[in-house]
Structure 1
Amino acid sequence: MVLKHKIFRGVAWNAIGSIVDNGLGIVVKLILARLLLPEHFGIIGFAVIFIGLIESFADLGMSAALIQRKEKNLKPEDFDTAYWAGLLWGGFLFALVSLVMAPMAARFFDEPMLVEIIPVLSITLLLRPLWAIHVASITRELDFKRIVVPRNFSKIVAAAIAIGMALTGFEVWSLVFQSVFSELLLVLIYTYASPWRPRLRFSLASLKSIFGFGLYTTGTKVFNYLTGNIDYLLIGKLLGAHSLGVYTIGYTVTYLVRSKIMDVINKVFYPVYSKVQDDLEKVKKYYLKVIRYNCIVVYPMMVAIILLAEPGVLMGLGDKWRDAIIPMQLMAAAGLVHLLTSSNTVLLRGIGKPRLELILSIVKTLGVNVPLVVLGVIYYGIIGAAAGLLLAKIVIFFINSVTLKRVAGIGFIEIVENAGGLVAIAVLVSALVFLEIGYVALLVAFLVYLVVHAMMSYKDVIRLLEIYRSRKKSVVAEAEGGA
């Protein structure tokens, strides 16, 4: 199957997975928001801050290294070594989190429940290495159906369990056990779905080779995590559980939608960049397509949040979540900016530049995100944190633009021309939120925006449909030829 057909199938299957994943995630969050107080979400937020940081170290970048490696340089023992090293490392992290970090987190946030919650959540650190290398082997073949279907099934079952627990009074433990059950099901299903099986062998040479690449990607993950969660940490510490819970809902609605949909295309194109890494013209072409497709899909959602956050929150969640409205709108605006160069880290990793990716992550974290968010939280609370994120995304856009020009020849003008019209109409319509024109008028404005956005995007949609039709014809021809 030619590469573009594999890409299309990958995007399609990842899109299905993302829709299910996002849908379930938002439904569960909204049900819990109806049943719980902001303080309950804040407590879970405390735990997730620490668990998420440790998960950044979980596989030491070994999965990414296996996916990125050229076929001629890949040896069978590389997979086995990564598998067993991942298990040992996961066991160490589980012990570290349960015995050391859980009590530290409880003292840091002054929340005794974290001593119980964090060790249970950290069971995922033991389970994830059992399926991560299986998924890496499938990803190399661009066979995303075998990744998405098991993941969707596990999410559905785990979501049902979480909703049931929430309705029967388990409160914050609903989200805790949702994560654990989801990981457990993934272990069982991916082990069955993947043709690869671990063998009892371990190569220090393979570990050194894999770890050399994985070290940089792991460092990048850590700094990306800090970049994306420094606001959580500061709000939790400085403002308390209630404010963190309110902020969490706003962040979930904006970031969950944006990041998951972006992941759909980025997961497909990471191995694609690896396959064409020696041809920068192809890398450039694919990257610009990724940015435009992300904007086509995600921009309407961000504009909807900016325009309709107030009626949506008040009618959907209740007045107790009113404080989440403005942060939600600011974070959606940050999403509009972020999308324009959001895939640069995937591109750098895919073309074999993990060191540069790490350096940029450090600069963006320590030089941009942390200062702006700290100042925002100190002076303006959760609204200041969201405003700090928006300013940070604007600064990071220019940093990413310079990097893309140097490593792939993708200039600022090309990025603007690629998605400029989509950006302009989104910004103009979003600005209507500053006018007191009523909910109905805002809804009408959004519907008009959707029509204009569709008119500007229809050629891209037609192109995707043409690829789909040609893929179907090739499949039929192959079937007839083999008959």
Structure 2
Amino acid sequence: MSASPIAGGGTPALQNRVYSGLKWVGITMVLLRCTRFVTTAVLTWLLLPAVFDEMTLALAVVGSLGVVREFGLGQAYVQMKVRDDAHLAAAKDTAFTLTMAFNLGLFVLAWTAIPWIAEYYPKHPGLAPILRVVFLTFVLDAFANTPGYILHKDLRFRHFSATEMWAGVTNAVIAIGMALGGLEVWSLVGGFLGSRAIQAVQLFHYSGYRPRLRIDRSIASELFHFGKYMWGFAALSAVGGMFDRLVMGHAANIGKGELGMYGIASNLCLLPATQITFLVGRIAFPALSQIRDDTAELRRAFLKALNHVSVLAIPVGFGLWAVAPDLVAVCYGKNFQGIAPIVAVLAFYGMLMAVASVSGPTFQAIGKPQVLFHASLVHHAILFPLVLWLLRYGVLGVAVGIFVPLVVSSAIGFVLVARCLTLRASTLLVPIAKTLVAGGAMALCVKLLQSALGPNTKESVRLALSVAVGVAVYFAIIRLTHRDLLKEFRQTMRRTAVASEGA
């Protein structure tokens, strides 16, 4: 029997549930990515770049303040071993009570801090009223986070995928509808909050969880013991992930509309990475946690996940870099042409983030979240001063400033996971190197095609031909260099098509 590319092994029932997770999360990845891409593209034709500035900054503030929202309790709940039904119920209630307390407390603190936040960003006078609305997400998260982690622990990916998809559709309908009504930045706010609200309601519905406010001290201690490192890692990641936008919002040399364009470019390049990271983190972590005592199975699972993610993420990164000017011209219009050079840099950032995402769930599953925290310390020790120094060169300087630290921390992560799983460097690097060669060759062929077509060819025609040639070239090379991997993909697709979560 072929093992799952994520789980790598385990019981047949576990493999079946992981295949079911691949099916539903895979479907959601495609549909959600298309929905978000189309939504953003439509909004760029309806709104000016400056409209996106304050929403981009508001989301950065929300993300950075959200570092204390759960102290890693969700990840700790997913990986903890349950003794019986009573222990499980107590764990759910403890996680819910603590998470609710943290989020509601954060909402009060954030609301109180709005005047000081607005004062720090005088270039954005409309920020304060936007923050008063988007901070309501902390209230929604107070009730929705634990039901979400219940679905993850139970490997009920179909239900969680449904909440993601409906959230994407809700955002599209509300945002585009309000933009057509001339509500400008409030269309972005309405779409964001509406999507979070509908997802919160559905998470409660699908989880079947009925909350009870109580705290079991022994369980709370266990959750905090694991979660403290995950919180440290998540806190650094949250602040570091938003640091670029936070400093650009205050910088005098960042012009009107540039922050919004940077945000759109970042979302475009990181959407594949975030979806792949979601796939790996939400499926691999719960599944690997159930085979964490079998090093051989963990090693196989890690290598298969790494190879599969690399084959998917690397061509996306090279492809975005190759077609960035035409893609922006066709999909976002003339007002957003400044996005193209940013995409050319951030495409590789998103690519590396997706590939590096495989390490995190492995460390979590084997009970070593402190490794993630220590690697994150190195990452952010480089990121913070480098971004501040490169800010003088504008948005492109900032884009380079977030990419370099990711290269360093990703390398550290792979070295450490190789040690934990007793992997040889060649076993780890050769498959990635072969995929990088295939992606580079694809991008080179696309650039040669664009040069041959010349500047007089319509952007839409050039984009369509570039995508077609790029896909054909990449697939042809992969067929020669990754025969076994393609065979695994076909086997996975067959198993995925018939898998069910209830098995």
Q: Same fold (TM over 0.5)?
A: yes
Matched residue, 1:269:
284
The answer to whether structure 1 residue 70 and structure 2 residue 85 are counterparts is no
Distance 2:134 2:74 in 1: 22
Distance 1:142 1:362 in 2: 31
The one-letter code matched in structure 1 to 2:283 is V
For the Cα contact (< 8 Å) 2:266–2:343, is it kept in 1? yes
Matched residue, 1:22:
33
Which residue among 466, 472, 482 is the counterpart of 2:491?
Answer: 466
Which residue among 303, 309, 330 is the counterpart of 1:315?
Answer: 330
For the Cα contact (< 8 Å) 2:19–2:495, is it kept in 1? no
Distance 2:440 2:101 in 1: 49
Which residue among 255, 258, 280 is the counterpart of 2:273?
Answer: 258
Matched residue, 2:404:
391
Answer with 322-331 or 177-186: which moved more: 177-186
Distance 2:410 2:101 in 1: 38
Distance 2:130 2:58 in 1: 7
For the Cα contact (< 8 Å) 1:45–1:245, is it kept in 2? yes
Shift of 1:442: 4.8
SS across alignment from 1:56: helix
Q: So what's the TM-score if we normalise by structure 2?
A: 0.87
SS across alignment from 1:268: helix
For the Cα contact (< 8 Å) 2:435–2:478, is it kept in 1? no
Distance 1:470 1:382 in 2: 45
Matched residue, 2:192:
179
For the Cα contact (< 8 Å) 1:62–1:214, is it kept in 2? yes
The one-letter code matched in structure 1 to 2:211 is P
Distance 1:411 1:235 in 2: 42
Matched residue, 1:421:
434
Q: What is the CA deviation profile of residues 20-50 of structure 1, one whole-angstrom value per residue up to 9, with x for unaligned ones? A: 2222222221122112222111111111111
Q: So what's the TM-score if we normalise by structure 1?
A: 0.91
Answer with 395-404 or 447-456: which moved more: 447-456
Shift of 1:121: 0.4
Answer with 113-122 or 343-352: which moved more: 343-352
Q: Which runs of structure 2 are paired with 1:89-128 in the superposition (5 Å)? A: 89-100=102-113, 102-110=114-122, 111-128=124-141
Distance 1:432 1:332 in 2: 18
Matched residue, 1:375:
389
RMSD of the TM alignment (CA)? 2.5
Q: Which runs of structure 2 are paired with 1:147-158 in the superposition (5 Å)? A: 147-158=160-171
The one-letter code matched in structure 2 to 1:193 is Y
Distance 2:498 2:328 in 1: 46
Instruction: Give the length in aligned residue pairs.
Output: 474
Q: Looking at both structures, which has the greater relative contact order when contacts are Cα pairs under 8 Å and sequence separation is at least 6?
A: 2
SS across alignment from 2:257: helix
Matched residue, 1:331:
346
The one-letter code matched in structure 2 to 1:181 is G
SS across alignment from 1:128: helix
For the Cα contact (< 8 Å) 1:305–1:328, is it kept in 2? yes
Q: Which runs of structure 2 are paired with 1:182-331 in the superposition (5 Å)? A: 182-238=195-251, 239-331=254-346
The one-letter code matched in structure 2 to 1:408 is L
Distance 1:97 1:200 in 2: 24
Matched residue, 1:358:
373
State the identity %: 23
The one-letter code matched in structure 1 to 2:31 is V
The one-letter code matched in structure 1 to 2:415 is V
The one-letter code matched in structure 2 to 1:234 is V
Distance 1:76 1:183, change over 3 A: same
Matched residue, 2:7:
none
Answer with 433-442 or 21-30: which moved more: 433-442
The one-letter code matched in structure 1 to 2:28 is G
Q: What is the CA deviation profile of residues 102-146 of structure 1, one whole-angstrom value per residue up to 9, with x for unaligned ones? A: 222211221221111012001111011212212222211212112
SS across alignment from 1:197: coil
Distance 2:195 2:161 in 1: 13
The one-letter code matched in structure 2 to 1:107 is E
SS across alignment from 1:72: coil
Shift of 1:254: 0.3
Structure 1 gap ranges (5+) = none
Shift of 1:411: 3.7
For the Cα contact (< 8 Å) 2:261–2:339, is it kept in 1? yes
Q: What is the CA deviation profile of residues 286-320 of structure 1, one whole-angstrom value per residue up to 9, with x for unaligned ones? A: 11111111122223322221111101112222222
Matched residue, 2:8:
none
Distance 1:431 1:412, change over 3 A: farther
For the Cα contact (< 8 Å) 1:307–1:446, is it kept in 2? no
Distance 1:465 1:279, change over 3 A: same
